[in-house]
Structure 1
């Protein structure tokens, strides 16, 4: 006879454990337990049957895997938490006895990060456990960057200390410097939430969100203790990643930081990037060897032989590269491959095109000047990441500019974000500004310089080419700023394509009817009087026709004539109903009656509508017949797909209608 199993010792009751039991088992406080779970990547689980899992009479709400809690028993951080808890008890006990000296001695021994800056513990081993390879860390970098860029812009409070904000900002600036040197930034997008950036690092696309440089208001609805736990983990993670990225391209980490320039608003200019001679590329000159290294170095004759072999290998590589380039030139043709959809209705892929310059060096030959109303930080980062070396701005924006003189003749592009100002009096122009004396007067332009709005920079880097500056001139209505992360699909609404090329036949017919109605509605009060007179004359003519018709004789109809007359009578009834509707609308609005279009035009549109309706009816019937051949499971799946497609088409229809209204309003304003 087997051993009898007791209740709660096997099955789900043993696989799960409540949060209360987990805290008691680990012998730590609830806040420390939350920290440990966040850092180790352990989260609550939802069992299928809570009654079987819960061992108590009260309904438990939070469960964890028992194996995860057993895994936490061997965590070195537990000992740190317990030591800190014991020290806090000793301090409170000393204060209770009134022994201030003993309490101060224990306080000095305690690790207070908010006061001393010394961490209580390190999370290095946690980073190594959670990310065995560097690619795993890069894949989890999206949330890390978004959180750190957010905290870098927050004001310091009791829950968010100033040292945490300063470290977040420094780590973010170091990461931006890597993107500038490596030129791995690809796209950016301005949204309501903030600025989205996308970079490609070692084949991994990384997308993060950076908030705008506004004064942030900290509210009490957000639990900054939980967010601070994530930030503490992400700061350690980004420190590891920055070290690996810097050393991979031959740079020293951490870069030299100038606190004085940072206090003056230098930000990116407060860092000095230096190369690591040990990991320098092969085409650079070797590092100089000191006298101590020469004494302990290898034999000079052996070193000379090694240098000779290395020189021969390099020459062989150069010859092979020249042969490959000559072969490529011989095989090069003017034709270029095009990516076409394999089947009708497939996704439209971006087509390759010849480009004279690389997108990473888009602004290499440009010198920019940023007006003081423009956002300097994102513009400086994007321009430097795409090859620009000379960026100037007003002195009030901070240190680190190429020039603060707005009249510098070497400036090729100036970014402004203010409306066109009307010419002021000469008395106002003579007044010198206290902030800068090297600025231009209102509406004054330097000859040979391109003036654009900030959106020109974002649209240029997303399209990989410098956009037309006249479309982004100061005061001009900017083109739509579209997200580069949305991939256009076949049949969906595309704002870059004209409306006539993507609207359906039914929408085109409805649009033409609206245009005809609007043209007929327009008129003056004199035209209203003429319309009333014409209506009176038509009424008199109709009465005379009726009187004449009473004296005529009736001879009967044939069968074909009867059918034609019935169709004509139906059309006449519809026309009469439409005319009556127009009269009611005119009476309510006080406008002249909308006249019906010409017979030929109306008949053509009516025939087109009938054709479209018949075609839609035939397609629906064919669809129902095809659905009848499917099984029940496949029919439900097909109906779900059809519902999703109809929902998307309805959204596209709304977008097209909205665009049609905007285009009509623009046409009216221009007229």
Structure 2
């Protein structure tokens, strides 16, 4: 007889473990268990069948893999948690006895410290893995760097996050790795490309943050503790990869004055181990990182040249067999020559094109493709007005080559100049509308004691030769990869739409950057004008013998609401007609046979009548011109005739577009009759989704048309 299996010893019941069982097995508290799982990257799992997994009558809600919990049993951080628990007992016992000196000594010497270096190395075996997981880390650290210090968020944590974020921004500035940025409601999105990995993170605006009580900052603080360790490792690797010393020098005094990026001084390590200061303050010497890298390349080329020169040349190898050419050996060139002159031409690897003419050719990466984008603002000197956001503008401008950046002294330390009237300033970023001359303060008299200083400019005034733009111009130039027209972003001007650089517009979607005429369908403007005219005439729909009703598109016998169209109501419409009742078996007549005879074309009759009316009016004008002794071409056309002609052309275009659409719909219905039922249903779904997209795009185009006719946004 086979042995009976005991319940809960195999299958899913053995592969999963509940949270209560995991806490009891690890012998730690629930907060420590959560903290340990965040450090190790272990998350709850959802089994396929909770009833089979649960070993109790009460269904559990949180499950973990049993192997993950067994993996935590050998974690060194678990031992630190137990040591910290013993330390907390000793500290509470000393405080309970009133022994303050013993408590202070325990706090200073016996408090265990937790290091997460080994966990970072375990979770990210390669540096590329760490870069792929850097999005959430940067977003969390930038969030905590902008939070106010409270009882739940320690000032030490905020300063650590701010320092790590500024160090990462300095690397992006030095390596020109920033690619795109976008202003959204949540904050400012940035995207950088580091070693082929695209990293996207979110930075909140510099507003006064209000910390609410419904957020568990203990869990978020655990994430921040791990992410801070991760970003420290990443910053060290990034700095050393471009020849910089980590950590950079930090000036506490400049940081207290609001220097932020200007409070750091970068140092580059030369070839011989010497340090070269590369302070990235505004107006200082140029960055010598490129010089250091070029010296490294020169040293490597010289060593390669020496090795190649020591190798036997083809001429010397031939001289061993040919005595006549023994005295014709080539002298080795000097090491200072380029590598292409040192290596013989026949020994250099050449990449031949593929043999087949229609074969695929892979595009090779071009290292100089982004040189123009990296130095987009290199030749300009910017001045930031007091109302503009200094931190994102400084980071963005310096990331794309700007070396001279000034602002008012109230915005903080580290500016190239605080003089707004400096003649070297080429662009000024302004975020307020121009003021009328009557609202400006009066100028002081000539003999007044408080004369205008050389560093002040009258509010609302403009300095000749300087370009004034709004902050959006910088973001749009960065996303476009080129300098845009600054007159479109002048102070007080209606700005172009600021679109996300990561959204790719589809075929039927509305593009706000493209002209409206290129996106409209044929006859769309005329339809919109006729609808607006109908709305202006009256909203009850009784005028003109018609009313506004929704157009019903029938697809495969189903009614789908379409666009609003003008429907004429004739006398007797809506009444029962003899012979229209359904047949005896309860089925209606075939829709195809009902629509087989469409009658005479009303549009053709109306067109013929309008043409006849136009010919009669033209003949009448010719008779009047002949009686007056004037040529017909010189007869003035009245405004009513011009309006009638425009209206007639608009009606003709609308009717032509409606006829074309009706023909396309009929052609589609005939094609659907030849399809199978499955394909016809699939086509109906596609048509329905396309119709929804067209309606949304048409609504946006209608709004834009009204705005353009009214002369802009009010």
2:448 corresponds to 1:448: no
Q: For each residue in 1:379-433, what CA deviation from the matched residue of structure 2 results, as whole angstroms up to 9, or x when unmatched?
A: 1111111111111111111111111111111111111112111225897332999
Name the stretch that deviates more: 488-497 or 306-315: 306-315
Q: CA 1:483 to 1:667, structure 2 compared with 1: closer, same or farther past 3 Å?
A: closer
User: In the alignment, which residue of structure 1 is the partner of 2:276?
Assistant: none
Residue matched to 1:524: none
Contact 2:166-2:261 within 8 A present in 1 as well: yes
Find the partner of 2:481 among 458, 461, 464.
Answer: 464
Name 1:545's counterpart in structure 2.
Answer: none
> Residues 47-72 of structure 1, C-alpha deviation per residue, up to 9 Å, x if partnerless?
12111111112221101111111111
Pairwise CA distance, 1:259? 0.3
Give 1:172's aligned residue: 165
**Corresponding residue number in structure 2 for 1:31:** 31
Paired position in structure 2 for 1:232:
225
Structure 1 counterpart of 2:708, from 660, 663, 667 = 663
SS of residue in 1 equivalent to 2:526:
helix
Q: Per the alignment, do residues 636 and 95 of structure 1 end up closer, same or farther by CA in structure 2, a change over 3 Å counting?
A: farther
Report the CA distance shift for 1:666/1:626 in structure 2 as closer, same or farther (over 3 A).
Answer: farther
Q: Is the 8 A contact 1:506 1:612 kept in 2?
A: no
TM-superposition CA deviations, 1:272-306 (whole Å, max 9, x none): 0110124784632899xxxxxxxxxxxxxx9x988
Q: Deviations over 1:156-179 (max 9, x none)?
A: 111110111101111111111111
Please list the CA deviations of residues 644-667 of structure 1 after superposition, one character each: whole Å capped at 9, or x if unmatched: 544444432332233223223227
- Name the CA distance, whole Å, in 1 between partners of 2:466 and 2:62: 64
- CA deviation digits over 1:134-193, x for unaligned, max 9? 111111111111111111100011111011110111111111111111011111111111
- Mapped to 2, the partners of 1:240 and 1:668 lie a distance apart of 50
Aligned-partner Cα distance in 1 for 2:180–2:449? 41
* 8 Å contact kept, 1:395–1:436: no
Question: Which position in structure 2 is the counterpart of 1:508?
Answer: 525
1:404 aligns with 2:421: no
Q: Which residue of 1 aligns with 2:61?
A: 61
The CA deviation at 1:254 is 0.4
Match of 1:538 in 2: none
Change over 3 Å in CA distance of 1:59–1:214 after alignment to 2? same
Match of 2:455 among 411, 417, 438: 438
Query: What is the CA–CA distance in structure 1 between the aligned matches of 2:691 and 2:34, rounded to whole Å?
Result: 45
Alignment equivalent of 1:263, drawn from 256, 260, 282? 256
Task: Kindly indicate whether the alpha-carbon contact (under 8 Å) linking 2:143 and 2:203 is maintained by their aligned counterparts in 1.
Answer: yes
**Partner of 1:188: helix, strand, or coil?**
strand
CA contact (8 A) 2:508 2:697 kept: no
Q: How does 1:348-367 map to 2 (within 5 A)?
A: 358-367=372-381
SS of 2:172's equivalent?
helix
Kept after mapping to 1: 8 A contact 2:141/2:162: yes
Change (3 A) 1:643 1:474: same
* Alpha-carbon distance between aligned partners in 2 of 1:426 and 1:513, rounded to the nearest angstrom: 48
The aligned residue for residue 554 of structure 1 is none
**Does the alignment pair 1:189 with 2:182?**
yes
Aligned to 2:510: 493
Report how many residues are paired.
556
Alignment of 1:27-106 (within 5 A): 27-106=27-106
Q: Cα deviation per residue 1:542-600 (whole Å; 9 max; x = unaligned)?
A: xxxxxxxxxxxxxxxxxxxxx9998769999xx9xxxxxxxxxxxxxxxxxx9999678
Give the structure 2 partner of residue 317 of structure 1: 339
- Paired with 1:405 and 1:570, the residues of 2 have a C-alpha distance of 74
- Measure the CA separation in 1 of the matches of 2:713 and 2:247: 60
For 2:249 and 2:675, how far apart are their aligned partners in 1?
A: 70
| SS across alignment from 2:213 | coil
Asked if the contact 1:520/1:595 (under 8 Å) is kept, the reply is no
2:120 is paired with a residue whose SS is helix
Whole-angstrom CA distance in 1 between matches of 2:116 and 2:449: 56
The correspondence for 1:284, drawn from 295, 315, 333, is 295
- Please tell me whether residue 478 in structure 1 is matched to residue 527 in structure 2: no
**TM-score, normalization: structure 2?**
0.70
Match of 1:618 in 2: 667
1:128 to 116, 121, 132: 121
Cα RMSD, aligned residues only = 4.0
1:199-598 → structure 2 map (5 Å cutoff): 199-278=192-271, 281=292, 283-284=294-295, 312=334, 315-317=337-339, 319=341, 358-424=372-438, 428-430=442-444, 438-505=455-522, 507-514=524-531
SS, match of residue 315 in structure 1? coil
Q: Following the alignment from structure 1 to structure 2, what is the Cα–Cα distance between the partners of residues 268 and 370?
A: 16
Change (3 A) 1:95 1:54: same
Task: Quickly say closer, same or farther: Cα 1:120–1:624, change in 2 above 3 A.
Answer: farther
| d(CA) in 2 for partners of 1:184, 1:569 | 63
Displacement after TM superposition at 1:668 (Å): 11
**Distance change in 2, residues 1:151/1:314 (3 Å):** farther
Residues 486-544 of structure 1: CA distance to partner in whole angstroms, max 9, x if unpaired?
123333221111122112235333124246668989xxxxxxxxxxxxxxxxxxxxxxx
Distance in 2 separating the partners of 1:90 and 1:508: 82
With over 3 angstroms needed to count, the CA separation of the structure-2 counterparts of 1:513 and 1:233, relative to structure 1, is: same
1:605 to 651, 654, 666: 654
Q: Deviation at 1:443?
A: 2.9
Matches of 2:651 and 2:35 in 1, distance apart? 73
SS at match of 2:465: coil
Q: Distance in 1 between matches of 2:59 and 2:666?
A: 57
**Residues 1:623 and 1:37: Cα distance change in structure 2 (over 3 Å):** farther
Deviations 1:314-337 (A, max 9, x none): 62426489x9xxxxxxxxxxxxxx
2:80/2:114 contact within 8 Å kept: yes
Cα 1:285–1:377 change in 2 (3 A) is: same
Deviations 1:586-616 (A, max 9, x none): xxxxxxxx99996786466335324313322
1:150 and 1:507 map into 2 onto residues whose CA distance is: 47
1:163 maps to 156
Write the distance in 2 (CA, Å) between the matches of 1:435 and 1:216: 38
Partners in 2 of 1:101 and 1:231 — Cα distance?
33
The structure richer in helix per residue is: 1
For the residues of structure 2 that align with 1:569 and 1:106, how far apart are their CA atoms?
97
**Cα distance in 1, alignment partners of residues 25 and 598 from structure 2:** 92
- Would you say the 8 A contact 2:523–2:654 is kept in 1? no
What per-residue deviation string (whole Å, max 9, x for no partner) do you get for residues 457-495 of structure 1? 111111111111111111212111121111233332211
Please give the secondary structure, in 2, of the residue aligned with 1:232.
Answer: helix
State the 1:371 CA deviation.
1.1
Aligned equivalent of 1:141, options 114, 134, 138:
134
Alignment of 1:100-119 (within 5 A): 100-111=100-111
Q: Partner of 2:702: helix, strand, or coil?
A: helix
Work out the CA distance in 1 between the residues paired with 2:192 and 2:684.
39
